[in-house]
Structure formats: C-alpha cells, structure tokens
Amino acid sequence: MMYNFAIDPLLTGKVLWTPLLIVLLKVVVVFAVGLVATMLMVWFERKVIAGMQNRIGPNKAGPFGILQTLADGIKLFFKEDLIPERSDRFVFKLAPYLAFVPAFLTFAIIPLGGDFRGDNDGLVTWFGQQTRVQLADPPIGILFALAISSIAIYGIMLAGWSSGSKYPLLGSVRASAQMVSYEAALGLSVAAVVLVSGTLSTSGIVARQSSLGNWNVIVTGIVPFFIFMIAATAELNRPPFDLVEAEQELVGGFNTEYASLRFALFYLAEFMNTVTMSALIVTLFFGGPQPISVGSLTVDIPIIGNAFEGTIWLLLKVLVFLYIYVWFRATLPRFRYDQLMDLGWKVLIPASLGWFILLAAQRVGQDAGWDRYVVTIATVLILLVCYSLLALAQRTSENERKRDGVMF
Amino acid sequence: MGLFVFVCAAAMVLVGAVGVVTRNNPVHAALSLVLTLFGIAVLFVANNAHFLAAVQVIVYAGAIVVLFLFVIMLLGVDQAEDLSLEPLTVQRPLALVVSIGVTGVIIAAVLKSQDALFARGTGIDSATLQDADANIRQLSRSIFTDYVFAFEVTSVLLLIAVVGTVVMSRRQHGQHVEESV
C-alpha cells in the first residue's frame, strides 16, 4: 500500500485515499480523546479527593468546575518561561517532550472499541474499509507498551539532571531506580497474560476474553492482576509510591525547576499515563471493549450498535480503575524508600516469577496430558522450596548487615 | 519507501555513533547512544523483525543506557571532561591501530563478497508472516533447541558477573570503620 505513495504522489488513485484518511482521522481522534480524557481526569481526581476529604473542590469554572483544568492550562501557558542558569539548556528543553510523547504513544495500541462478539474479531467497516478501533495493531502489541514505559524514564531522569540543582537530581534518581525496579514485575505479570492468551497483539488478547470466565484476571488466577496493579502504580509514580515528589524531602521532585508550559507538559504526561495505564489494565485483564457476559447471557446495551457499545464498556471499566487510583491517593500514606525497594525486589518480582512458572507448568502438563492437580501440587512444592531458600538468604544478609551496623 | 526508511535509520545510527565519540559531556554521549539504538530498532522493524526491535528498545535503550546514566549521575562525572589529558598514554595509538584494522577487515569482507551484494535472496518466508506471532515462535524455537547451550551459558555468565560484583563491592566485616573515616 505504501509503495503507491511514490507512484501516485497526488493521491488521485482510489486505492490510497480511504485508508490514508482513516489513519489520519484515527490519529487526530486518538490525540483529541487523549487530551480531553487527561483534562477530565485532572478534574475527576480533584473533585473525588475533595469529596473524600469533606471539601467541595473546584466549582467555579464551568458546571461542577469541569473547566478548571482548562483554566489552569491557560494560566500556565501565559506564565514566564524560566530556564535555570546552571541548567543544561538543550536537555532541559528536551526532557518535557520525552515525558509527554511516550504517554501518548501507549494510547495508540489500546483497542478503544469495536465488536468482538462472535466471529467479528473487533473489525469494523468504515467507508468500505475493514479496520480496527485502535490506532495501530503492531504484531508485538503489548511489548510496545513495555518498550514505551521503559522510554518514559528518560523524561524524568533527564529533567532532574539537567536542572543543575540537587533536589531535582535526587528526585529523578529515585524515580528512575523505582521505575527500573518495578518494570521487571510489570513485565513478568504481562508475560503471564501473554502465556494464557498465546498472542502479543492487544486486539488478540481482547478477543480471547469473550465471557466473564474467560477474562484474564480469572484465567491467570488474579495474582498477576494484583502485581500488575501495584507495579503500575509504582511505574506511574502515583501515591503511595510518589517518592519522586516527596514534598517534605525534595521540595517538588524532578520538576522543581520547571515552570509554565514545560511544567504543564509533565503534569499532562503524569495524568495521561494514569489514564493509559488504566486502559491497559482493562485491556489485559478485564476484556477491554468486550461486554460483560456469563455463559450465553450477555449484558447488551439496547439501541446502540455493538461496535460503539464496546467503547462504552471500555469507558465504564476504565472509570472504575481511575476511581481506584484516586482512592489510593486519598487513602494510603507514602512508602519509605527502602520499603519500596523491598516490596519491589523481594516480594513482587519473586511472586510474579513464581506465578508465571506455575502457569507455564500447568500449560506443559496440559500439553503432555499429565494430571492437572499433580502438576500444580508438584510445582507449588518446588516453588515453596525456592521461596524458603530465598527467605533464608534474606535472613542471612539481614543478620550480616545488622552485624556491620547498617541501618536498613 | 524501503530505501527512505533505511537512509533515515542509517543517518540516525551514524549521527548517534559520531555523537557518542565526539560529545564531551558523558550524559550527551549516552543520549547519542540512545539515538543509535533507536536507529537500529527502526532497521529491525524495516526487516520485519518486530520482536527484536521491541527487545532492542526495552533492554538496551530502556534498561542498559538508563543504568549508564544512573552511574554517570551518581558518580558525579557529568561535567565535560578535558580530553587533552590522557591517563593511559598507550590507549590512543592502540585505539587508532584497532580502528584501522577493523575498517580494513570490513572493507576486505565487502570486496571479497562483492557478488553477494547484488544477489537477490528468497527473502523472508512470507507465508509465516501472515501469522503475527510467527516471528517470536521461530526465534524462541531456535533459542531453546539449536542454541540452548549457548543461551544457558550466556545466562550463567551474567549470573557470575552479578555474584562477582556483589562479592567485590561488599565490605568485609569491621572494615567499614576505617574506610568511612
């Protein structure tokens, strides 16, 4: 298809126009939806937290204060653009974009709607073209999301370093250590989903979760979901893992020296990432745009077409997780840094690895025709032996450290 | 289109590689390395090796260079260095010899296999490309069957490196008092 571009530079041929326009339309729509969702998320968070703390929250701009974010954005836009004298100017200017662009890129692979019922496979027909309601469906699918989330570290890390000041640097070193640590647990819980789905493509993962019993949260046995949820919260640097911006210790964290539009970009990226991560959780574990159905019984929204209904389901499911994230923020106190690292390395990574091995062993047993319970019990026993070895090693190292007089 | 992608990606790789060598600031050099790694990832995608491209970005750009930057920032060597000073005087002439040697070997290899440059291969098996996951399946099959020994030995090597680092960097009992003074 792309070769026609060279032969037909004026785009007069009928072959190219529609697909190209559909792709352009999708890009614009995904960008706009992302921005509007982020704007509403900021408002939603402030309003819900205010409710949880017996306050009113934003209520001046627009109905229910819904335009508050827009007002804040305009204010930030007109503020003076400051660059610290001791900063590395090029990297200082580059860093906000390195944080902002990955936040949008992940949104591209999330199925935003479409009809996955029966044999439809999520395909919709627009202007005579079969397509999916997602910007891109690359064969590596979910690995793309992992790659982008590992790139997102650069924005925060370079912002802290290039500010030429010690508190942002401390904040960014913390943030990058945290994100690198939790990425392993994140990847291993995604691996569990990939193992049961048998595909990396996000639309393929959604297509296999046709009814409530097939949702990956149940098929993978709920543990990978919890690990993913915790690791994602740490990856987003949201409370209770928001050590990056621990105000009491670090002034404002990695973005202390930023002002005006550049600060707005960081702020936008943070909330955009929250929305994207919630959508990713829904896609991986809760069937994405699939309706809730038990057996042959499907909860169907009347009148609205099946393809658009998918978008409504996705929205409802994502809203639940956005609410949970806000709830976390309002409820949980911040972790201490060593507790954070202990949780990541000593609990989440071994747990996700062990669970992955258990699922893989069941898979092998299924293929070889072994008894399911025997396989499960044998694997659990082996994992218990491994865990006790790990616990022994941890206790030994703790004793050694106590003897050496290290605090933690 | 294929040529266009190749030229862009190759330019990325070259600009990044030159940047790694010429930038005085270690952080800028590390960022140039990221540019090179991204260019290579694009080249992988252009050759339909999507999985390798993803791994390239996740492992190299997302983990290894991040650790490089981490070390640079923590050690505080992130100032521009004076390149006229050289602690190991033999290093530069040796580097020159090695680089000329490598260039010579590459040129010789290209000249030797000149016929192969214009020969058209059968290319990638397009039937397997219809299945999006065929790429990964083939890769994992060859890693865990034909090359399983090399694969496991490599992982043992990495493990030895980790254990060695821990052993060497660990302070002996009671030694920290003298060191911290």
Q: Is the pLDDT of residue A3 over 50?
A: no
How many angstroms separate the Cα of B176 from the Cα of each of A134, A406, B168, B173?
A: 57, 10, 14, 7
Q: Is the pLDDT of residue B174 over 90?
A: no
Q: Is the pLDDT of residue B103 over 70?
A: yes
- Nearest CA among A248, A101, A104, A250 for reference residue A163: A250
Going by pLDDT thresholds of 50, 70 and 90, the confidence category of residue A81 is: confident
Measured at the CA of A154, the angle between CA A151 and CA A157, to 5 degrees, comes to 150
B31 chain-A contacts, CB cut-off 8 A: 91, 158
Q: What one-character-per-residue DSSP string does A131-153 give?
A: EESSS---TTTHHHHHHHHHHHH
For residue A381 the two structure tokens come to 């026993």
Helix (H) or strand (E) segment spanning residue A293: strand A293-294
B176 chain-A contacts, CB cut-off 8 A: 404-405
Q: Looking at the complex, does the CB of residue A88 fall below 8 Å from at least one CB of chain B?
A: yes
Residue A40 lies in a domain: no
Cis ω before A240 (30° cut-off from 0): yes
* Count of residues making up chain A: 408
pLDDT tens, position by position, A278-305: 999 999 999 888 888 777 777 777 777 7
**Nearest-Cα residue of chain A relative to residue B66:** A154
Q: Is the pLDDT of residue B27 over 80?
A: yes
Distance, in Å, from the CA atom of A396 to the CA atom of A386, rounded to the nearest integer, reads 15
Mean pLDDT of all residues in A365-374:
86
Across chain A, which distance is largest between two alpha carbons, in Å? 79
Topology of domain B1-78, per CATH? Four Helix Bundle (Hemerythrin (Met), subunit A) (1.20.120)
B132 to A201: CB separation less than 8 angstroms, yes or no: yes
A153 to B62: CB separation less than 8 angstroms, yes or no: yes
CA distance B177 to chain A (A): 9
Specify the higher pLDDT residue, A133 or A54: A54
Mean pLDDT of all residues in B73-97:
76
* Count of residues making up chain B: 181
The domain segmentation of chain B, as residue ranges, is 1-78, 132-166
Distance, in Å, from the CA atom of A161 to the CA atom of A95, rounded to the nearest integer, reads 10
Residue A77 lies in a domain: no
B133 to A183: CB separation less than 8 angstroms, yes or no: no
Is there a contact between A338 and A408 (Cβ–Cβ < 8 Å)? Answer: yes
**Nearest-Cα residue of chain B relative to residue A147:** B58
**Nearest-Cα residue of chain A relative to residue B166:** A397
Of A6, A177, A200, the CB nearest to B136: A200
Q: Is the pLDDT of residue A319 over 60?
A: yes
pLDDT tens, position by position, A216-227: 888 888 899 999
pLDDT value, residue A278? 92
pLDDT tens, position by position, A193-222: 999 888 888 888 888 888 888 888 888 888
Specify the higher pLDDT residue, A341 or B48: A341
pLDDT value, residue A10? 45
A147 to B57: CB separation less than 8 angstroms, yes or no: yes
Going by pLDDT thresholds of 50, 70 and 90, the confidence category of residue B78 is: low
A183 chain-B contacts, CB cut-off 8 A: 62-63
**Between residues 167 and 196 of chain A, which touch chain B (CB distance below 8 Å)?**
169, 172-173, 176-177, 180, 183, 187
Of B28, B61, B133, the CB nearest to A199: B133
pLDDT value, residue B126? 59
pTM: 0.85
Mean pLDDT score of chain B: 82
Residue A59 lies in a domain: no
Cα-Cα-Cα-Cα torsion B166, B169, B172, B174, nearest 10 degrees, comes to -130
pLDDT value, residue A170? 83
A139 to B69: CB separation less than 8 angstroms, yes or no: no
Residue A207 lies in a domain: yes
Percent of residues, chain A, with pLDDT higher than 90:
20
Write the single-letter amino acid at B74: L
pLDDT value, residue B123? 61
Write the single-letter amino acid at A295: G
pLDDT value, residue B179? 46
A158 chain-B contacts, CB cut-off 8 A: 27, 31, 69
Quote the domain boundaries for residue A134.
Answer: 9-13+82-335
A143 to B132: CB separation less than 8 angstroms, yes or no: no
This complex has an ipTM of: 0.79
How many contacts, defined by CB atoms under 8 Å, are there between A and B? 86
pLDDT value, residue A327? 92
Of B1, B67, B171, the CB nearest to A6: B1
Of A151, A201, A204, the CB nearest to B61: A151
Mean pLDDT of all residues in A327-336:
88
CA distance B110 to chain A (A): 30
Q: Is the pLDDT of residue A355 over 70?
A: yes
The bridge status of strand A293-294 relative to strand A297-298 is antiparallel
pLDDT tens, position by position, B119-170: 666 665 655 566 666 778 888 888 888 899 999 999 999 999 999 988 888 7
CA distance B41 to chain A (A): 11
Is there a contact between A173 and A192 (Cβ–Cβ < 8 Å)? Answer: no
Percent of residues, chain A, with pLDDT higher than 70:
91
Mean pLDDT score of chain A: 84
Q: Looking at the complex, does the CB of residue A198 fall below 8 Å from at least one CB of chain B?
A: yes
3-state secondary structure chain B: CHHHHHHHHHHHHHHHHHHHHHCCCHHHHHHHHHHHHHHHHHHHHHCCCHHHHHHHHHHHHHHHHHHHHHHHHHHCCCCCCCCCCCCCCCHHHHHHHHHHHHHHHHHHHHHHCHHHHHCCCCCCCHHHHCCCCHHHHHHHHHHHCCCHHHHHHHHHHHHHHHHHHHHHHCCCCCCHHHHHC
Percent of residues, chain B, with pLDDT higher than 90:
32
B70 to A153: CB separation less than 8 angstroms, yes or no: no
Going by pLDDT thresholds of 50, 70 and 90, the confidence category of residue A244 is: confident
Residue A373 lies in a domain: no
Q: Looking at the complex, does the CB of residue A151 fall below 8 Å from at least one CB of chain B?
A: yes
pLDDT value, residue A7? 40
Distance, in Å, from the CA atom of A173 to the CA atom of B70, rounded to the nearest integer, reads 7
Distance, in Å, from the CA atom of A100 to the CA atom of A266, rounded to the nearest integer, reads 7
Name the domain count of chain A: 1
**Between residues 304 and 363 of chain A, which touch chain B (CB distance below 8 Å)?**
none
pLDDT value, residue B155? 93
